[in-house]
Amino acid sequence: MRVRTTYILIICLFFITGCTGQPSPSELNDSELTLNIGYFSEKQFENRYSSLLSIEYPKLNYNVIPTSDLITERISVQEWTAENAVDLIYLPPAYLQSLANNGLLQELDPYIQKTSFSLDAFVPSAVELMKQYGDGKLYGLAPTFYSRALVYNSRLFDQYGVPYPKDQMTWEEIIDLAHQFPKGLTHSYPSNAHFLINIGQTENLQAYNEDTKQITLDSSSWADLLELTLEPLRTGNIALHDLNDNLFLTGEYALGIITYEELIQLEQQGSDLEWKLVTMPTHPAEPDLSHHYVLDGMWAIPASSTESDAAWELIRFFMSDQTAKWSYRSVYGFSSLNAYTSMGQSTSDIEAFYKLRPAYRTSPVPSTIYELLNEAIEQAISGNASAEQALAEIAKKEIQ
């Protein structure tokens, strides 16, 4: 692995140290120090951080140790950690949780307290989600996150005399609202099965029982949801689109479920479209919860780190204003820092993406179930089976 030497203007770092607890340069300016950093690949780390590090830290030497074999499951967590000694590591949350559960990561709370690192500057929903992966404790910090929101074309709503949608509506209310337009709601989920399961998760329905390894779609509640969406899916009132052919951006559809990437498209296209944002639909009994948060990754310190204090300093820098400003509206998602979610350059309702609290995470749904559910939806749309019959057929299948 290559060792990279970087350079810094110390006084610059001193003056930009702020409320997020950005580190002093002392340890990271030690020419004798070398940090081993776990990241998906050296190239990806360099693309994301090398320019910043070359400005901020003068004599820091570091090795980037790829985690790609771990993330792609070509090697087990135990094997990877036995073969690779790193001082800090960037991991998808599920992998971080696995390492934390096995005692392989250090709690970050003591470092936070020792250095007066304030979490108040961060988006509360993002911090709450970080803590979920540590059962209430912080084993990692995520500089960015993704989410979804509901966008609507206010010009079309005015044209049809339809009241604007509001925050925290239910799925039934949104689908009824979409019915009032020829082309109501568009989404960029990978499939209509993903769309339906997303609705089900909001309704606290389970598609798969991980303990019994059984599909649990054969219920009246799931059938009611499928029935709710069948007619609009059949007529095109609800439609799937991909990121390169966004049906909301063309002005055809009144409502759209949009991702962070699609928000960037909206912001970049100027004022051709009059659009506003509200939160994704919620469960009426839990109107403050959202299932739509995703963390790109989290920075953590392994229990075996020999340079844990220096590793913490670097994590603080990755979570700092300086880094957030540099990576504003990058491919990595919203900044976890409140001040850099919009920087005043977007609509005032941008908080629709993150104002709700994260719902407790559910187990991932096996990909096979999405495939089976897609087939069932097509059977029901074509009239070859009722919603109940189509879902009952899925329940007979076994997941290997």
Q: What is the structure's pLDDT at 185?
A: 98
pLDDT digits (tens, 9 = 90+) for 263-290: 988 888 766 789 999 999 999 999 999 9
Question: What CA–CA distance (Å, rounded) separates 25 from 160?
Answer: 59
pTM: 0.88
Same topology, domains 3-143+295-342 and 148-292+355-395? Answer is yes
Model confidence over 17-51: pLDDT tens digits?
A: 333 444 444 578 766 789 999 999 999 999 999 98
CATH number of this structure's domain 3-143+295-342: 3.40.190.10
**Cβ neighbours of residue 162 under 8 Å, at least 6 residues apart?**
177, 180, 181, 254
Q: How many other CB atoms are there within 10 angstroms of residue 308's CB atom?
A: 16
With cut-offs at 50, 70 and 90, classify the pLDDT of residue 3.
very low
Per DSSP bridges, beta strands 88-91 and 34-39 are: parallel
Torsion of CA 34, 40, 46, 49, to 10 degrees: -80
List the structure tokens of 204: 């606290």
Look at residue 20 in the predicted model and tell me its pLDDT: 43
DSSP 3-state percent helix, strand, coil across the chain (nearest 5) = 40, 15, 45
Domain 148-292+355-395, second-level architecture: 3-Layer(aba) Sandwich (3.40)
Residue ranges of domains in the chain: 3-143+295-342, 148-292+355-395
The Cα–Cα gap between 65 and 63 comes to 6
Task: Give the mean pLDDT of 177-191.
Answer: 96
Q: Which residue has the higher pLDDT, 385 or 22?
A: 385
Q: Which residue has the higher pLDDT, 383 or 21?
A: 383
Instruction: Give pLDDT tens digits for 229-263.
Output: 999 999 999 999 877 788 999 999 999 999 999 99
pLDDT value at position 26?
A: 56
Q: What's residue 96's pLDDT?
A: 94
